[in-house]
Structure 1
Amino acid sequence: MKYFVLLSLFFAVTFAHAQTAQNELPRLNISKENLPLRQHKLRLSQAEYANAPAAKTTNSGPGYNFDSSRWAHLVDSTWGAGLPDAQKMAQFNTFWKHFDSFYACYINLPAYNWDSIVTAIDTQIMHGVSKGRFAAIANDFMRKINDGHSGFHDATVNYPPSIYRGLPLFRDESGKFGACITTFNDTEAMVYSVHAGHPLGLERGDIILGYNSEPWLKIVKTMLNNQLPNSVYLGSTDAATMHRYVQAAGENWYLFDTINIKKCDGSIVNLPTTLMTGFSYQDFPTEQMPVAGVNIPTYTQYYSSGVNISANVIHGHRIGYVYMYDCTDATGNKLLNATKRLVEDSLVTGLIYDIRTNFGGGFLAFESTFKYLNDADVSWVGYGDRYDANRLNLSNVGLTSWYDLTDDDPHYFNHPIAILTGPNAVSAGDFFPVLFKHDPNVKVFGKSTAGAYGSSTSITLPYPGFYASMQLANFFQSGAPTSYMTHTEVPVDSNIWFVRDSVCLGIDNMVSTAVQWIEGITSDIHSPSLQSFSAHVYPNPVSEYINIAITNPAKQQVEITLRNMLGAVVLHTGYNAGSGTLRLDLPEQLPSGNYYLSLQDEKGNKAIKKIAVIR
């Protein structure tokens, strides 16, 4: 029997559970309502822009947004006193006592003096803090934890029903701005999708430089240093969290007077943010651009109709494309059936799984698909958990054998598979590429995922209105039982992200790069595993014959196969003469068109090149 950790299900645990019942972790179903990032985005999107209440009206002007004494006044006055200070203290200390007893992911965090930090917070609360300040203290404390599965926030402060000019709240991207933002060169906020006729005249490729002539990241630092309540969802790595701070550039226009924008032609425009008054949108910001022939789900389709997977063949190619926004299908059938339709009905010769935004769920959603595509048994992860008061001591109670996969599916997809990832793939979205990388046909493109390698549990607090959670387990990869993964960036194979020139033209360069890799648009073939062989193919396009310059020092048998776009073999031969050049004459009856030339050695290492035949 194999066992399964539910990556986003909230469940209560005790040390007795952690010590005696780890092998009872069940393969349960999971609802979308238990995905922290999904619910965070949903709550943010439910807010409405409104006129400021008379009591909240603020004056704007030069320097208004960077006056720390003014920020403090606004944070204290906007939400009032809140709970009595003794209850605030009990709220925080209840959270901290439970969190500090069980949290399994202090490893890979900076060496903070946690006891001193908590003592300072207790002292601050003891001297009296407002409701807004207490929420900000909680947000700032969790910023040090920096964990996508862990949270401690006041729902009425962090998720207010109304957003108005001057509200002292640092909000995450919600889709209300009418333009979706991603990072460019990791530090600049770039528009990749926008509504036609946007009131600020935004276009794809525009850069939001900042506000009031201050750079956006300087503004972020100012807001964090002055402890504004912070609703930006934390990644579990510094890079993932910074990515989300950059994405929030458009969302926070209501805090400022003037927005500074760099256009695709290099010009800079400065516009009053009052142009946004009266406009409200609802986008699904997923850091993806439309792919020809494939439906990209909308906000309504995902949140209201439950469309979490969309798949089809890319127009003009023989490549299947799959959007996957969460891993909540415990049957695994949604992804498996979508993949089967592409492989068996559409006869694709490559696959792309796009999880640049994936809200998490459980392993069952993709295990069966992996076994369908792969042809080997896999041991891939286990986990450690806390067992004593030492914050850095973990016991590997989650055995790798619980997660081992036996390849009991007779199918095997021996073609290239690209996975597109980014910092908004969290929890099970983190694990998806970790598992699929065990398939030698897989290559991962993009940025590292969020780094939240564990499960989440809620924490019960004594007073209502707050939400608290923490990560329990901390996973490791098989073969590295002391290298815990949470708060680390698992490397991708090709570290690429959106290129501005492409976005200005409406092109998703990450998709085009993956397509080019799948279709073999390179001049050389190279099989890196054990450096068993490499080859250079010329000419291409070809008419009568192909020259294959092979480096084969071990004189292994290399199988050479030419297939048409439907996968039918049109030519097959072998080579075992060591390094040299082989002339491969094409059949006279072979029609013009595109073909795939594959080379495979005795160890199963395979390389593919797309060949154009012109006659």
Structure 2
Amino acid sequence: MDKRYRIFKTTTEMLFCILVLLMPATIWGQSYFDAPAEPWYMKRAQPQRTADATFNYIPKKPGHYSRSDWRAVIDSTWGMGRPTAEKLALFDFFWNEVDQKYAGFVNLDVDWDGLYAYRDTVAAGVSRGRFAGIMSHLSMALLESHTVMFNTNVALDSLLPGVPLLVIANHKVRFDPVVRLYDHGHFGAGLTPLPDSSLLVYSALPNHPLGLAPGDIVLGYDNIPWKILYKELLSAQLPVHQRSFWGSSERSFHYTMLISAGLNWHLFDTIDILKYNTADTLHLSTSVLQGQDMTLYSTLQLPVPGVPMPQDDELVSWGIVDGTQVGYIYVASWSPFSPASDGFSSAVNILMNDYETSGLIIDYRSNPGGFLDAADKGYRQLFNADINFVNMAVRADPQNRLALTPVLPGECCGFQPVPGDPNLYDRPLAVLISPTTFSAADYNTLRIKYHPMARMFGLPNGSAHTCYCTYEITTVPPFPEWRDKYGIARRNTYVIDDPDSFYIHVGVEVDEEVSLTREDVVQGHDTIVEAALSWIHNLAHAHDVAANPPYVASGADTTTINALVENPNNHPLAVHADITDQDNVILDSLQLYDDGQHGDHEAGDGFWGGFWPAPAGEETYRVNLTTEDAAAATSRTLPDAARFTTIGPVTLDAVEDVTFVSEFIYFKLFFRNNGAVATALDVNALIVPTDTNIV
């Protein structure tokens, strides 16, 4: 069977004749969020220039521009623009709106009051381009790419040599309906930072005009390292191109500035490249790039054998990594809602139920965000407990920038607990992230970190962890060239159990920090994927935990706790089960063995077991199972991995009102609790076909 698939819709389901098996387990409901294609709080105006645009192209002169050179070019390129009084009105409007509504002042090391001094600069008289630069840099100081104010008559101009526009972290080829990212066909190669902040070429177009190939290193321009140059450009306060976004922590901001090196060639005369195949350092003219179509979908990822990457308008793709039993899911975006939600849910469903996977990798490295709840249908299949770890908070007091209060359920981005499925994904779950994992991808990265089998690989995420709202610019006169809407991050993510743990500007740390290496890139290997595969293949862990029988008579019977245990390195292991009540209070613990004497089949066969005599009294018990590998210093606990009960027994009493409608069967089930004391709550019925030809 060809194991490579692309997912756009959920799989079709069939109903058929049934055999009812009774199990004492909690019933697991599922609710589906029926969202419009793009709700009001996710809308942004289409970027476009207005009729009064003024653009005076000044070709790049030879030589490296200083800050004063750039300021002169900025002033000359776009003219004076609106009167000073109108510029001040827009400055005051945006500054006050942010001051009263922005939820991201927590964890932000910025003197916001000090930035009000920009107003004096504006009041002294500035050009259209200089004002656009001030407003975009005022936005950048907030370290939050939703909260922006752009002049589209400046920020969308052509990136001709010498045009003073700074492009930040734009690595997308396609239009994205959430963050409006585009690739301009402007550089044709993907860059990722090395430890010294030089830029490794990990992908490049064939026959690149500069001869770039994977393994080459971009050092900078004009014989100056890019890590120095980008700070010069920030100091000069070039207007920022609207098709840009930046990281929300100091580290991710630095990262997004570094990977932007190639996209800013139009500001320099020569580019400095260290070639892999010759070890020569070349200083090449950037003029060869002018007018070239160099569109490339570069995403900080390298192809994984057996797994197609998303193409064109695809949001989700998946496969089985060649030569392994490891499932792999790419999620390129969480928007639009339905393709992202259904595609991810279908991929999870198929890999969990149609394949015997030994592990799962979910790749969010290039995901710019979208709908917060687009992951819910997939996540509820991976978790066996309610996904209620995080919520968002909003400003409680317009006069207190640090005072936040929880968003109420039903409000924009309000907390909505997602019920889990009883079938926990109990194999290693690797999640790949990077500083370009942004917005809703930040949020969903934090949520999946709570999965008991999850481990994060790559680099810390973009750290926005926000939900934004759009507002009309209400100044008089209006400012159509500044978009008819602007965004402000009104919500900030926190952990419910720790209300002071806001994640904006902090983000999710990885468990294993790893980046692409030069040698791996040359060989076409994705270093981060290799690290995730190595962990999956070497982790000692239990799975398929069961309590047999699921019903035992209180004070009389014994249940056997069994688990399959993977021990790839044949280390001495300790496997134990904590027996808890329904409130998760530990009542007892027992060791499991693989010695052939504890209901575990043959000695050394990887099937472990242990006996537990049921005490008197009617109760439903839960099993939390832990596998410890002291040699590898790892420990993994599967919570609520199995259940058994002394309540009942519960038996099927009747099947009534059976009706057939087309291929569907409808009926009512009635159960009887034969116990003496306790009420059997939330009984779950497992329905399976009696026809063995149906699978």
TM-score range, shorter chain: 0.7 to 0.9
**2:442 counterpart (417, 423, 430):** 430
**Structure 1 partner of 2:145:** 148
Which amino acid letter does the alignment assign opposite residue 198 of structure 1? H
**Structure 1 partner of 2:115:** 117
**Structure 2 partner of 1:273:** 286
Counterpart CA distance in 1 for 2:254 and 2:573 is: 46
Name the SS of the counterpart of 1:438 in structure 2: coil
**1:439 counterpart (424, 446, 451):** 451
| Residue 169 of structure 1 pairs with residue 182 of structure 2 | no
**Structure 2 partner of 1:326:** 333
Instruction: Please say if residues 233 and 241 of structure 1, whose CA atoms lie closer than 8 Å, have aligned partners that are also in contact.
Output: no
Which amino acid letter does the alignment assign opposite residue 517 of structure 2? V
Instruction: Please say if residues 394 and 491 of structure 2, whose CA atoms lie closer than 8 Å, have aligned partners that are also in contact.
Output: yes
- Quick one: structure 1 residues 509 and 454, their matched pair in 2 at CA, closer, same or farther if it must change by over 3 Å? same
Which amino acid letter does the alignment assign opposite residue 320 of structure 2? V
**1:449 counterpart (461, 475, 478):** 461
Instruction: Please say if residues 193 and 258 of structure 2, whose CA atoms lie closer than 8 Å, have aligned partners that are also in contact.
Output: yes
**Range moving further from structure 2, 103-112 or 126-135:** 103-112
| Residue 240 of structure 1 pairs with residue 252 of structure 2 | yes
**Structure 2 partner of 1:390:** 400
**Structure 2 partner of 1:480:** 498
**Structure 1 partner of 2:381:** 372
Counterpart CA distance in 1 for 2:201 and 2:290 is: 20
Name the SS of the counterpart of 1:150 in structure 2: coil
C-alpha RMSD over aligned residues = 3.4
Correspondence list, 1:189-208, <5 A? 189-208=199-218
- Quick one: structure 1 residues 355 and 608, their matched pair in 2 at CA, closer, same or farther if it must change by over 3 Å? farther
| Residue 215 of structure 1 pairs with residue 236 of structure 2 | no
Which amino acid letter does the alignment assign opposite residue 456 of structure 2? V
**Structure 2 partner of 1:464:** 480
User: Any gaps of 5 or more consecutive residues in structure 1?
Assistant: 1-25, 47-52, 528-534, 541-546, 562-570, 577-582, 587-596, 610-615
TM-score (normalizing by structure 2)? 0.69
- Quick one: structure 1 residues 393 and 33, their matched pair in 2 at CA, closer, same or farther if it must change by over 3 Å? closer
Give CA-to-partner distance per residue, 1:70-124, whole Å, 9 cap, x none. Answer: 1111000111111121111111111122221111111111151x33421x22221
> Aligned-pair distance for 1:508?
0.3
**Structure 1 partner of 2:127:** 130
Counterpart CA distance in 2 for 1:80 and 1:600 is: 79
Q: How many residue pairs were aligned? A: 522
Name the SS of the counterpart of 1:219 in structure 2: helix
* Bigger helix fraction: 1
Instruction: Please say if residues 574 and 629 of structure 2, whose CA atoms lie closer than 8 Å, have aligned partners that are also in contact.
Output: no
Instruction: Please say if residues 599 and 608 of structure 1, whose CA atoms lie closer than 8 Å, have aligned partners that are also in contact.
Output: no
User: Any gaps of 5 or more consecutive residues in structure 2?
Assistant: 1-32, 50-54, 172-182, 544-564, 579-588, 611-622, 631-695
> Aligned-pair distance for 1:479?
1.0
> Aligned-pair distance for 1:233?
1.5
| Residue 604 of structure 1 pairs with residue 625 of structure 2 | yes
**Structure 1 partner of 2:67:** 68
**Structure 2 partner of 1:515:** 533
Aligned-pair identity in percent equals: 29
Which amino acid letter does the alignment assign opposite residue 456 of structure 1? Y
Which amino acid letter does the alignment assign opposite residue 549 of structure 1? P
Instruction: Please say if residues 599 and 607 of structure 1, whose CA atoms lie closer than 8 Å, have aligned partners that are also in contact.
Output: no
Instruction: Please say if residues 559 and 573 of structure 1, whose CA atoms lie closer than 8 Å, have aligned partners that are also in contact.
Output: no
Instruction: Please say if residues 599 and 606 of structure 1, whose CA atoms lie closer than 8 Å, have aligned partners that are also in contact.
Output: no
**Structure 2 partner of 1:419:** 431
Counterpart CA distance in 1 for 2:469 and 2:496 is: 24
Which amino acid letter does the alignment assign opposite residue 463 of structure 1? F
Name the SS of the counterpart of 2:149 in structure 1: strand
Instruction: Please say if residues 42 and 468 of structure 2, whose CA atoms lie closer than 8 Å, have aligned partners that are also in contact.
Output: no
Instruction: Please say if residues 148 and 426 of structure 1, whose CA atoms lie closer than 8 Å, have aligned partners that are also in contact.
Output: no
- Quick one: structure 1 residues 317 and 117, their matched pair in 2 at CA, closer, same or farther if it must change by over 3 Å? same
Counterpart CA distance in 1 for 2:609 and 2:365 is: 32
**Structure 2 partner of 1:264:** 276
Instruction: Please say if residues 573 and 629 of structure 2, whose CA atoms lie closer than 8 Å, have aligned partners that are also in contact.
Output: no
Instruction: Please say if residues 367 and 438 of structure 2, whose CA atoms lie closer than 8 Å, have aligned partners that are also in contact.
Output: yes
Name the SS of the counterpart of 1:254 in structure 2: helix
**Structure 2 partner of 1:19:** none
Instruction: Please say if residues 395 and 404 of structure 2, whose CA atoms lie closer than 8 Å, have aligned partners that are also in contact.
Output: yes
**Structure 1 partner of 2:177:** none
Instruction: Please say if residues 104 and 492 of structure 2, whose CA atoms lie closer than 8 Å, have aligned partners that are also in contact.
Output: yes
- Quick one: structure 1 residues 573 and 504, their matched pair in 2 at CA, closer, same or farther if it must change by over 3 Å? farther
Give CA-to-partner distance per residue, 1:115-166, whole Å, 9 cap, x none. Answer: 3421x22221111111110011011211211112211111121221x22111
Counterpart CA distance in 2 for 1:453 and 1:54 is: 39
Instruction: Please say if residues 558 and 574 of structure 1, whose CA atoms lie closer than 8 Å, have aligned partners that are also in contact.
Output: no
Name the SS of the counterpart of 2:431 in structure 1: strand
TM-score (normalizing by structure 1)? 0.77
> Aligned-pair distance for 1:463?
1.0
**Range moving further from structure 2, 551-560 or 392-401:** 551-560
Counterpart CA distance in 2 for 1:536 and 1:341 is: 22
Instruction: Please say if residues 56 and 78 of structure 2, whose CA atoms lie closer than 8 Å, have aligned partners that are also in contact.
Output: no
Counterpart CA distance in 1 for 2:609 and 2:436 is: 36
